[in-house]
């Protein structure tokens, strides 16, 4: 069964006073199955972020639909949106978005606290996650006391502690050095193998090469898809870079 | 380039930060206005021409110093706050290539603009309102209105000098900050959370001890004369203790709240508790300032209002009847009985001659002395008020011959030679006999004579004893009183009292000349309630006016501190709420969390101020007793009403600033 269904998605921004219209997304359609790990690539301005905002129900499409487990996002009333996001989606951001007033542990707990979970429940959920992400020792530290990679791992923990159906990552390696990037990507792979559906927006070929499938977006449309099949990461890397070369040299 | 660019940058900077600058400028304008007003009132000729004006001006002179000192500290404090908020902006300019001299120029222009607006606006408003303020004051002291408009050049000059000095100091402070500025620190400045200060427990214990000490002093003090000096010590102790306790308390409370998992990990508390502990030191200090300023307003208002309302009582205390004459004998070798008779005749002659209709009369001889009880003796002692006696076994004794007692209280008591009546309202004297140190022993018959409290007895803080009958105790200061209520008008009573004084000044006992009487240090005093009332009104009216003025200054400061606290925290929190929204916090949850934070924090200063006020109560009671007002009920009433009004005002300020905060973070 498909976890995420995107059909004929269109988003038009109009400047104030109804002047020139900008088409950020023309016609985007794709599906993501449960347990899949999909990367979305594209150059700056290709509409990646707009697409992610739609998937996260932060922005509403002009036309078309986004369905999560068969539920149409546009029909969710505004009031319920925040809690819907909290319960069904997990987010990892480029700049971590950890709160400096909280220790890492409290940052991770934030969505559960907002959902009104009991402390014992939170603790028991945190233990395996902290172990898997190797941040047990850091839990009492504050964001300004740890490195970028450690911050991002905490952010991942925060995203998956709610057991979301879909994990959305927006350039998660963008602010990390190469070692931390490798660690984080390995981590995403593990999480995915454990059954977590992931959609990641990136323009790092390396990051995308860890996914099972890569969607390329150009000028507001899905331009191409690359499947991993039986390839390893290196072969996947090669495929992606070939596609990108094609994209930039204007193929088709 | 040139100086126009810096001027423009200064103007732009102030305009862009108007959310902070506007209230600051308004405060500066109000401070300048207040300063001019109070200097004007304390020195203007018009007021000194009004009746009671000069004594009122004496009181206001004290206020001039308070306003000036407060303005210096407060404006320097708020300016340093403004500077801190703008550090980032200056850091950006610095990185973009403006050197420190350039930045100082911008700062200089800003200071000049601020100074210009505040002085021009403040002086304009001050001059505009000065006549109104003067009329209010004249109304309070019940003086006559003099229609004459005056602009005080002295006031203008003094205000300009004071505030110019303040602005120069601000500029020096800004320069100092600029010089120490390092670009790197500026770009990522406010990410770190505050650590609990070292020795927090020590802080807490020290604060608690200080506060306990101050409260103990306030509650246990018995001699009003010492109350004034104790009061200032207690005020300093309370201020220090409030800061220590609020900071330590905020750190401690945050720690405790975080430890209680069931409380901390709740949607309402989670965010607020964490941001409170993030800035726990600053939070504590800010709340302590709010608390102290609130207490100052409360104490000032309740005291001055109580004194003004109670002034009639003070009049009665110092002048029990419309016209009260007294003769004080210092030399006991005079034939007292015949002297008293002579003075009485003199006074009655004046009354008859002027056809004064007497409605009430009290004339009696009184002997007063401070007595120390030692093994059953009441020893008259050489009391020195200033040194303060041990209060344990001392009494303020007032003696009266039994005939005068019968006359005044319409009794027909007959006493044996070894009997006296004793009125001991405080139930302090336990003995069954009284023995003066001249050896005379009397059996005590207890009575209760309700009447005016003995003012001096209360002022000294000794329990009063009233003894009726027996021989004149050795060492007592003898005073002959002749008090009358009449049907005269206030003006006429003044004339009559002058005549009485004239007449008794020329009296002499047979065998002594008038000059010899004067050499015997007999002091004569004839006063009317009218003149006492005028005196008190000009004194207490000026005090009330001063209290209102100072309270207004403190209020403005309180509001500004609350406002800045909200704004600064709002800007700090805006990024956090943004993240929380992304993580899935609804608007409603954000609003709830804000309310929880503000509620937890904002009412603590108010409650503490109320506590301070109630412990200051006994001290204030003693101090106004010195001014002649012993009315606990009235003081309690003005304190309670003052607190209620202030709490209402505080609520409004809270609502408005909370809105401001919400607007920033949403």
Across the interface, whether the CB atoms of A113 and B585 are under 8 A apart is answered no
* pLDDT for the residue B547: 92
- Beta strands (DSSP E) in B158-245 are none
Pick the closest to residue A122 from B579, B581, A142, A130 (CA basis): A130
What residue in A sits closest to B260 (Cα-Cα)?
A119
Q: Is the pLDDT assigned to residue B140 strictly greater than 80?
A: yes
Residue A86 forms contact with B (CB below 8 Å): yes
What residues of chain A, 164 to 223, have a C-beta less than 8 Å from chain B? none
Q: What is the mean pLDDT of residues B42-56?
A: 84
Q: What is the mean pLDDT of residues B606-613?
A: 94
Residue B390 forms contact with A (CB below 8 Å): no
Across the interface, whether the CB atoms of B584 and A111 are under 8 A apart is answered yes
Across the interface, whether the CB atoms of A83 and B586 are under 8 A apart is answered yes
Q: Is the pLDDT assigned to residue B64 strictly greater than 70?
A: yes
Pick the closest to residue A149 from A103, A96, A79, A206 (CA basis): A96
Q: pTM of the predicted model, to two decimals?
A: 0.80
Which of B191, B575, B581, B583 should one mutate to test binding to chain A, selecting the residue with the greatest count of A CBs within 10 A? B583
pLDDT tens-digit series, residues A61-84: 888 999 988 888 888 887 788 888
* pLDDT for the residue B70: 93
Across the interface, whether the CB atoms of A86 and B277 are under 8 A apart is answered no
Q: Which of A101, A116, A117 sits opposite B576 (nearest CB)?
A: A101
Residue A237 forms contact with B (CB below 8 Å): no
Q: What is the mean pLDDT of residues B154-162?
A: 95
Task: Please give the residue that has the higher pLDDT: either B620 or B453.
Answer: B620
* pLDDT for the residue B209: 93
User: For B51, which DSSP code?
Assistant: T
Residue B493 forms contact with A (CB below 8 Å): no
Beta pairing partners, B366: B479
d(CA B489, CA A247): 109
* Placement of tokens 């009726």 in the chain: B468
* pLDDT for the residue B384: 46
* Placement of tokens 């900008």 in the chain: A22
Q: Is the pLDDT assigned to residue B385 strictly greater than 70?
A: no
pLDDT tens-digit series, residues B176-215: 888 877 766 655 544 566 666 667 788 888 999 999 999 9
Per-residue pLDDT of chain A (252 residues; tens, 9 = 90+): 688 999 998 888 876 666 677 888 888 899 999 999 999 998 877 788 888 888 888 888 888 999 988 888 888 887 788 888 888 899 898 888 888 888 899 999 988 888 888 889 999 999 999 988 889 999 998 888 888 889 999 999 999 998 999 999 998 988 888 888 999 999 999 999 999 999 999 888 999 999 999 999 888 888 888 888 888 888 899 988 888 888 777 654
pLDDT tens-digit series, residues B208-227: 999 999 999 888 877 777 77
pLDDT tens-digit series, residues B487-515: 888 888 888 888 888 888 888 877 777 77
What residue in A sits closest to B586 (Cα-Cα)?
A82
Interface size between A and B, measured as CB pairs under 8 A = 70
Across the interface, whether the CB atoms of A113 and B265 are under 8 A apart is answered yes
CA distances from A13 to A10, A19, A142, B99, B284 (A): 10, 10, 39, 42, 48
Q: Please tell me the number of Cα atoms within 13 Å of B429 on its side-chain side.
A: 31
* pLDDT for the residue B452: 44
Domain boundaries, chain B: 1-192, 321-527
Other beta carbons within 10 Å of B347: 24
CA distances from B392 to B373, B395, B456, B461 (A): 9, 9, 18, 10
Pick the closest to residue B541 from B314, B345, B278, B210 (CA basis): B314
Residues in chain B within 8 Å Cβ distance of A158: 583
b/e per residue B472-499 (b: at least 16 CB within 10 A): bbebbebbbbbbbbbebeeeebbebbeb
* pLDDT for the residue B189: 47
* pLDDT for the residue B289: 92
Cα torsion B449, B452, B455, B461 to 10°: value is 40
Tell me whether 0.95 is exceeded by the ipTM: no
Q: Which residues contact B109 (CB under 8 A, 6 or more apart)?
A: B6, B7, B9, B10, B11
Interior angle at CA B163, CA B136 and CA B26, nearest 5 = 65
Across the interface, whether the CB atoms of A101 and B589 are under 8 A apart is answered no
The answer to whether B424 and B446 are in contact (CB under 8 A) is: yes
Taken in order B653, B656, B659, B665, is the CA torsion positive or negative? negative
Task: Please give the residue that has the higher pLDDT: either B647 or B594.
Answer: B647
Residues in chain A within 8 Å Cβ distance of B581: 82
Q: Please tell me the number of Cα atoms within 13 Å of B534 on its side-chain side.
A: 14
Residue A116 forms contact with B (CB below 8 Å): yes
How near does any CA of chain A get to the CA of B275, in Å?
6
Taken in order B465, B471, B476, B480, is the CA torsion positive or negative? positive
* φ and ψ at residue B434, rounded to 5 degrees: -125, 135
User: For B208, which DSSP code?
Assistant: H
* pLDDT for the residue B188: 58
Q: How much is the mean pLDDT over chain B? A: 84
Residues in chain A within 8 Å Cβ distance of B576: 99-101
The answer to whether B197 and B251 are in contact (CB under 8 A) is: yes
Across the interface, whether the CB atoms of B583 and A98 are under 8 A apart is answered no
* Beta strands B358-374; B477-486: pairing state: antiparallel
Beta pairing partners, A198: A37, A167
The H or E element containing residue A66 is strand A63-68
Q: Is the pLDDT assigned to residue B618 strictly greater than 50?
A: yes
Pick the closest to residue A176 from A188, A164, A161 (CA basis): A188
């Amino acid at each position: 069964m498909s976890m995420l269904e995107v059909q004929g998605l269109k988003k038009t921004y109009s400047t104030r006073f109804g002047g020139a219209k900008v088409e950020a997304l023309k016609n985007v359609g794709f599906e993501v199955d449960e347990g899949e790990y999909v990367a979305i690539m594209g150059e700056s301005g290709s509409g990646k972020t707009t697409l992610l905002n739609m998937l996260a129900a932060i922005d509403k499409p002009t036309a078309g639909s986004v369905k999560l487990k068969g539920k149409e996002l546009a029909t969710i009333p505004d009031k319920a949106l925040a809690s819907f996001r909290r319960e069904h989606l997990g987010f990892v951001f480029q700049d971590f978005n950890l709160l400096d007033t909280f220790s890492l542990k409290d940052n991770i707990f934030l969505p559960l606290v907002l959902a009104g979970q009991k402390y014992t429940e939170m603790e028991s959920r945190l233990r395996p996650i902290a172990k898997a992400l190797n941040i047990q020792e850091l839990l009492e530290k504050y964001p300004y006391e740890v490195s970028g990679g450690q911050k991002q791992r905490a952010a991942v923990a925060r995203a998956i502690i709610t057991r979301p159906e879909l994990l959305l990552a927006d350039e998660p390696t963008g602010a990390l050095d190469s070692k931390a990037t490798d660690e984080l990507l390995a981590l995403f792979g593990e999480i995915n193998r454990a059954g977590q559906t992931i959609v990641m927006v990136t323009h790092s070929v390396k990051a995308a090469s860890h996914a099972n499938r890569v969607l390329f977006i150009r000028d507001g449309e899905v331009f191409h898809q690359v499947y991993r099949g039986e390839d390893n990461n290196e072969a996947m890397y090669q495929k992606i870079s070939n596609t990108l070369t094609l994209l930039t040299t204007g193929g088709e | 380039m040139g100086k126009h660019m810096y001027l423009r940058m200064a103007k732009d900077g102030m305009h862009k930060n108007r959310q902070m600058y506007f209230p600051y400028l308004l405060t500066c304008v109000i401070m300048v206005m207040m300063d001019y007003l109070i200097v004007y009132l304390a020195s203007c000729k018009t007021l000194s021409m009004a009746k009671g004006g000069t004594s009122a001006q004496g009181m206001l002179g004290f206020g001039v110093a308070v306003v000036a000192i407060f303005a210096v500290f407060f404006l320097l404090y708020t300016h340093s706050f403004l500077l801190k908020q703008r550090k980032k902006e200056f850091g950006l300019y610095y990185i973009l290539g403006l050197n420190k001299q350039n930045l100082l120029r911008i700062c200089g222009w800003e200071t000049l603009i601020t100074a210009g607006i505040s002085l021009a606006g403040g002086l304009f408003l001050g001059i505009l309102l000065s006549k109104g303020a003067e009329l209010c004051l004249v109304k309070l002291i019940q003086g006559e209105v003099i229609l004459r408009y005056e602009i005080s050049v002295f006031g203008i000059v003094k205000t300009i000098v004071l505030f110019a000095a303040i602005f120069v100091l601000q500029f020096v402070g800004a320069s100092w900050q600029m010089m120490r500025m390092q670009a790197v620190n500026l770009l990522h400045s406010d990410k770190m959370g505050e650590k609990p200060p070292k020795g927090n427990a020590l802080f807490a214990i020290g604060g608690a001890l200080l506060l306990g000490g101050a409260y103990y002093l306030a509650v246990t003090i018995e001699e009003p004369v010492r109350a004034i000096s104790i009061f200032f010590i207690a005020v300093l102790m309370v201020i220090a203790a409030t800061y220590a306790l609020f900071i330590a308390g905020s750190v401690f409370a945050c720690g405790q709240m975080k430890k209680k998992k069931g409380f901390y990990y709740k949607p309402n508390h989670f965010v607020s508790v964490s941001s409170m502990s993030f800035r726990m030191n600053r939070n504590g200090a800010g709340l302590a300032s709010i608390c102290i300023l609130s207490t100052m307003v409360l104490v000032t208002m309740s005291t001055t209002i109580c004194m003004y309302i109670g002034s009639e009582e003070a009049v009665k205390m110092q002048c029990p009847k419309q016209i009260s004459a007294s003769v004080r004998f210092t030399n006991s070798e005079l034939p007292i009985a015949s002297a008293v008779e002579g003075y009485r005749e003199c006074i009655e002659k004046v009354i008859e001659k002027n056809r004064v209709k007497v409605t009430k009369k009290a004339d009696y001889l009184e002997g007063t002395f401070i007595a120390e009880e030692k093994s059953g003796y009441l020893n008259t002692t050489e009391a020195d008020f200033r040194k303060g006696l041990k209060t344990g076994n001392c009494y303020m004794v007032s003696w009266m011959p039994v005939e005068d007692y019968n006359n005044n209280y319409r009794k027909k008591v007959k006493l044996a030679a070894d009997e006296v009546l004793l009125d001991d309202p405080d139930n302090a004297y336990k003995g069954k006999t009284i023995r003066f140190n001249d050896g005379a022993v009397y059996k005590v018959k207890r009575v209760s004579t309700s009447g005016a409290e003995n003012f001096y007895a209360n002022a000294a803080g000794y329990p009063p004893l009233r003894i009726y009958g027996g021989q004149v105790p050795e060492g007592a200061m003898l005073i002959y009183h002749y008090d009358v209520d009449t049907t005269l008008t206030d003006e006429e009573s003044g004339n009559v009292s002058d005549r009485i004084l004239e007449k008794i000044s020329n009296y002499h006992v047979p065998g002594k000349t008038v000059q010899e009487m004067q050499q015997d240090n007999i002091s004569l005093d004839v006063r009317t309630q009218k003149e006492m009332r005028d005196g008190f009104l000009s004194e207490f009216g000026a005090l009330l006016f001063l209290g209102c003025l100072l309270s207004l200054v403190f209020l403005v400061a309180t509001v500004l501190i609350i406002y800045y606290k909200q704004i600064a925290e709002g800007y700090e929190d805006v990024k956090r709420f943004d993240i929380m929204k992304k993580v899935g916090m609804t608007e409603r949850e954000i609003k709830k969390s804000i309310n929880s934070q503000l509620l937890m924090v904002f009412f603590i200063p108010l409650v503490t101020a109320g506590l301070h006020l109630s412990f200051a109560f006994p001290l204030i009671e003693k101090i106004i007793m010195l001014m002649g007002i012993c009315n606990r009920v009235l003081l309690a009433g003005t304190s309670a009403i003052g607190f209620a009004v202030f709490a209402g005002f505080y609520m409004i300020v809270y609502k408005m600033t909370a809105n401001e905060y919400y607007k920033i973070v949403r």
